[in-house]
Structure 1
Amino acid sequence: MIIMLAGSALVFGGVFGFVAFKNHMIKQFFATMPKPVISVTTAKAQMADWRAVVPAVGTLQAVNGVDISGAMSGLVKAIAFESGHDVKKGQVLVQLDSDVEMGDLRSAQAELVLARTSYDRSAALLKSNTVSVAALEKAEAELKVKQAKVAGLQATIAKKTITAPFDGRLGVRKVDLGQYLQPGQAVVNLQNLSLMLCDFTVSQKDLSLVAIDQKVTMTTDAWPGVVFEGSIAAIEPLVEAKTGMVSVQARFPNDEGRLRPGMFARIEIERPAGAPVVTVPASAVAYNLHGDAVFVVREEAGSDGKTVSKAERAVVSVGDRKDGLVVIKSGVTAGDVVVTSGQVKLEHGSLVQPAAADPLKTADAGAVR
């Protein structure tokens, strides 16, 4: 039993000793293993005159736009326009059948002539006291009734002719010859595209930054890369109580006809320029729940006397973003070199090798070519 216990202690002691020796050697290996040098791209934090913008999303509408419709019912007798053409104010678009009204008008005009003759006769006879004043007044009343009847029929006939209420461009025709048109039924859409209006909202905290005639810029998905310039035309005096937003309307010239009603647009209102701020590329900032941070490259002397570059994690406070840049309120000073790509492989104190160019941008440029 003593020999067996001694042998077991010897075997287990050897096993535990070997495991302890192996762990010690592994720790020693990792402790003395040289840190890998990670290739990253960098950029310098710079001071810049920053003009922040108030962003908004709006919807375009024409300065004048309407679905043209008739005020009277009737058969479509003539169509005097083509879909998609430009028209002038007062140009005839649709003529409705007015034969019945024209007949009634001729009858009413004949009655008007008779009523005027009767009035003139009564007026002449009154001078000789042949007729009474009451008879003259009755003849005058009959004359006015006939005049009103003629004017009413003329107005009805005029409404049978549908004209363009303003200059603009027509849409697609919605009626056909011989069709019976009901009052209010749409004939064609007409839009004045010379000037476009954009309705959008801004927060009440930005209300002090918005003023009438202030310059604004606009971009649309329909024309990528094209910036349209306009000005603020109106500001709603009422602040929406539920949302805290204020409605604003801007005007944009549209001489080339690029903008169309119904388009969605991105609006930017420039704020007044403030003091210069520190900016870095937006790709340099890592956003997370524990705080935004960047990796700053510091030059240090290595153990062999050579200069090495280390990445140090710096917690920052960020501000506005624009054109691929972000404002740094604290944590980085102008002139600091920050890592713009490759942060995923970094930790505090990692050795880095700044690359001459951004490999992602180089690859994208090659793909475009």
Structure 2
Amino acid sequence: MWKKPAILLAILVVPLLFAWQYLKQAPSVKVSLVQPVVQSLSTKLDLNAVVINGQIVTITALVDGEIGQINAREGISVKNAQALAVLDDKKAQSLLDKARAELVYSEQKLKSTARNYARLSDLSQAGNASKQSVDDSYDAFRNAEAELAVAKADVSLAELQFENSTVSAPFDGVVTKQFAETGQWVEAGTPLFQLAASDGYLIEAQVDASDWALVSIDQSVTLTTESAPGKTWESAVSWIAPTIAINDRDAKAVAIRFAFGDDAPPLLLGQEINAELVLNKVDNVATLPLSAMVETEPNQYAVFLAHQNKAKLTPVKVGLLNEMHAQITDGLTADDAVLVSQQIRLQDNMPVEIQ
């Protein structure tokens, strides 16, 4: 007899339970507020760079000979024209002395033939010398002139040979390698030293071939290195390679270079540098963290604003974006605060409780 009332009660209660479940308000989600911040915003390209020297030369022996003296060692700083090594110059000195003596003899011979030619010319005009003797004296005079020119050239060559016995630095720099030692016999062209110019130090980075068009001369670069913890300094792009090359990772890349910068710490050849290349920058703009935004469509963004204790999805327009922040160009006022939840992903019209 109780079955029919029980069934009727169930028929009435179950729909009411479903209706209550449907109509009851969902629990509020605790949220925090993030306000737009006015600041500078930039996009950067992170690069691994290295200290190089764009002016490194190998200094060779210019003449054959035995090295008599080494005046510079690896790691030593030298000045322009400073003697790095001296080859045995005894032979060169002897040849120079001989050439100078022959020059003196040629000068005396020229004077003698000139006097003889002048004397015979005077006698010929008086009828006391034959034309043949005058011609012979003139030929002797011209030969003496030619011999003097040869003697002068021999002296210049001997002086050059003597000077080349001393190997000198072509510019201020640091000896990075030493290939020879005292007592060693070398031939002309034998490498003796490698010299890096003092003003030739640069920082070089490799940019992927797909990114090189983003780089331009005078573009700002922020630099750091492990040898100077906490130190950050600035430089600018001064050179872009005219060709694409294969880097040490077998990838196509374009080399770029920049100076050390005025505030650079001490750096060594081959030292690794971390470089941040500034691609784009805007100043004094309203920004939001990307974590406070929702990408509704590709390159389309929105934020959640509070409206009657609910999260209201509001479209915004963005300008420059980097990996952390976005420039807000439209859709927010200076007084707006964006809702952010650390618990769940917010939905449009979701009840919220601001902490």
With the length of structure 2 as denominator, give the TM-score of the two structures: 0.66
Between the aligned partners of 1:179 and 1:313, the Cα distance in structure 2 is 83
Q: For the structure 1 residues 247 and 37, does the alpha-carbon distance in structure 2 shift closer, same or farther, using more than 3 Å as the test?
A: same
Cα distance, 1:256–1:25 mapped onto 2, change above 3 Å = closer
Q: List per-residue Cα deviations over 1:332-368 (Å, max 9, x = no partner).
A: 443332356738633334455556xxxxxxxxxxxxx
Distance 1:185 1:317 in 2: 64
Structure 2 counterpart of 1:366: none
Asked if 1 retains the 8 angstrom alpha-carbon contact of 2:87 and 2:166, the reply is yes
Deviation at 1:293, TM superposition (A): 3.3
- The change in CA–CA distance for 1:62 and 1:30 in structure 2 (over 3 A counts) is same
Instruction: Indicate yes or no: 2:155 matched with 1:155.
Output: no
CA distance change for structure 1 residues 296 and 176 in 2, over 3 Å: closer, same or farther?
A: farther
Describe the superposition over 1:189-208 as per-residue Cα deviations: whole angstroms up to 9, x where unpaired: 3231487577898976887x
**Are residues 293 and 339 of structure 1, via their aligned partners in 2, closer, same or farther at CA, if it must alter by over 3 Å?**
farther
Deviation at 1:297, TM superposition (A): 3.7
2:29 counterpart (37, 54, 60): 37
Q: Kindly indicate whether the alpha-carbon contact (under 8 Å) linking 1:217 and 1:269 is maintained by their aligned counterparts in 2.
A: no
The 5-angstrom pairing of residues 156-175 of structure 1 reads 156-175=161-180
Counterpart for residue 126 of structure 1: 117
Distance change >3 Å, CA 168–CA 189, structure 1 → 2: closer
Does the CA contact (< 8 Å) of 1:57 and 1:266 recur in 2? yes
Identity of paired residues, percent?
Answer: 22
Q: 1:266 maps to which residue?
A: 276
Letter in 1 for 2:223: T
For 1:28 and 1:319, how far apart are their aligned partners in 2?
46
How far the C-alpha of 1:69 sits from its partner, in A, is 0.9
CA–CA separation in structure 1 for the residues paired with 2:314 and 2:142: 100
Q: What are structure 1's unaligned runs of at least 5 residues?
A: 1-13, 301-307, 356-369
- Give the direction of change, closer, same or farther, for the CA distance of 1:180–1:58 in structure 2 (3 Å limit): farther
* Structure 2 counterpart of 1:318: 318
Q: CA deviation at 1:258?
A: 2.6
How far off its partner does 1:140 sit?
Answer: 1.5
Partner of 1:218: 222
Is 1:188 aligned to residue 198 of structure 2?
A: no
Deviation per residue, 1:258-303 (Å, 9 max, x gap): 34566553343786x77x5321134434568644535424152xxx
Question: What's the RMSD between the two structures over aligned residues?
Answer: 4.7
- 1:235-246 residue pairs with structure 2 within 5 A? none
SS at match of 1:128: helix
Of 249, 270, 286, which aligns to 1:278?
286
TM-score of the two chains, using structure 1 as the length reference: 0.64
The answer to whether the 8 Å contact 2:36/2:337 transfers is yes
Q: How far is the alpha carbon of 1:143 from its aligned partner?
A: 1.5
SS in 1 for 2:56: strand
1:109 aligns with 2:100: yes
